[in-house]
Amino acid sequence: MTDPKQAEIDYPAAIGEEGRAWLRNKPFHHDPRMTSRLLIDFGHILQILDLHAGMSLVELGCGSGWMTRFVARHGLDAHGYDISPEMIEIARELADQEGTQATFEVADMENLDLGRRFDTALLYDALPLPQQPQAPLRQQPARDRRAHCRAARLPGARPLLDADLAARYGAVASEAA
Ligand SMILES: C[S@@+](CC[C@H](N)C(=O)[O-])C[C@H]1O[C@@H](n2cnc3c(N)ncnc32)[C@H](O)[C@@H]1O
């Protein structure tokens, strides 16, 4: 059986040119429903984490870094980490092309000592689930996701999980109603 972490590392190489083009264009160049879901998620993240220019943010499992780069464009001091060197290479290249001041490093979030504090942390569609690696993230009980997040030992960070986001969408909508 393939080591799940190795599979994450190899993922960008395994998905072919079309898959890598999506990684580069994310959240755009997909069907309107997917692109709008991602953009709406980003909007909610801005709102729920109350992200203001000048704050610091770390994203773990940032992939090709679209959210980290968006956050940097919003004026934050933004840092993305991912276990896959190829993802980080793409993220750095895109940040360079855009002139975005975000930094990207290769790291395993389960064995990571960031050595500093951030105002906030983001794990979006990227939580490692060693207890039930086959189960999709959204089917995991929230308490397991939170336990894994705590296990990531984020110093002083307030983690936001995408499943929690979904739970909060209702609250945001009803406040607006
Ligand atoms: C589904 S992708 C999502 C990437 C990004 N958050 C996004 O929304 O585009 C999950 C990412 O988590 C990364 N990842 C998985 N396990 C990790 C770990 N232990 N440490 C750091 N990154 C990890 C993968 O390499 C992959 O880039």
CB 2 within 8 A of CB 134: no
Q: Is 9 within 8 Å of 85 (Cβ atoms)?
A: yes
| Residue whose CA lies nearest to ligand 1 atom number 14 | 61
Beta strand residue intervals within the chain, DSSP E = 56-60, 77-82, 102-106, 120-123, 159-161
Burial 104-125, CB ≥16 within 10 A → b, else e? beebbbeebebeeebbbbbbbe
Segment 29-59, tens digit of pLDDT: 989 998 988 898 898 888 878 899 999 888 8
Domains of the chain: 4-169 (3.40.50.150)
- Ligand 1: lining residues by beta carbon, under 6 Å: 8, 26, 60-63, 66-67, 82-84, 87, 108-110, 124-126, 128
Q: What is the pLDDT of residue 82?
A: 94
Per-residue tokens: 169: 């969408």
Rounded Cα–Cα distance for residues 25 and 8 (Å): 19
| Backbone dihedral angles phi then psi of residue 55, each to the nearest 5 degrees | -75, 160
Q: What is the pLDDT of residue 158?
A: 55
Q: What is the DSSP letter of 108?
A: -
* Tokens (6 digits) for 130: 């060693």
Nearest CA to ligand 1 atom 6: 62
How far apart CA 89 and CA 68 sit, in angstroms, is: 14
**Residues 150-163, mean pLDDT to the nearest whole number:** 54
Tokens, residue 8: 């994450």
Identify the pLDDT of residue 116. 77
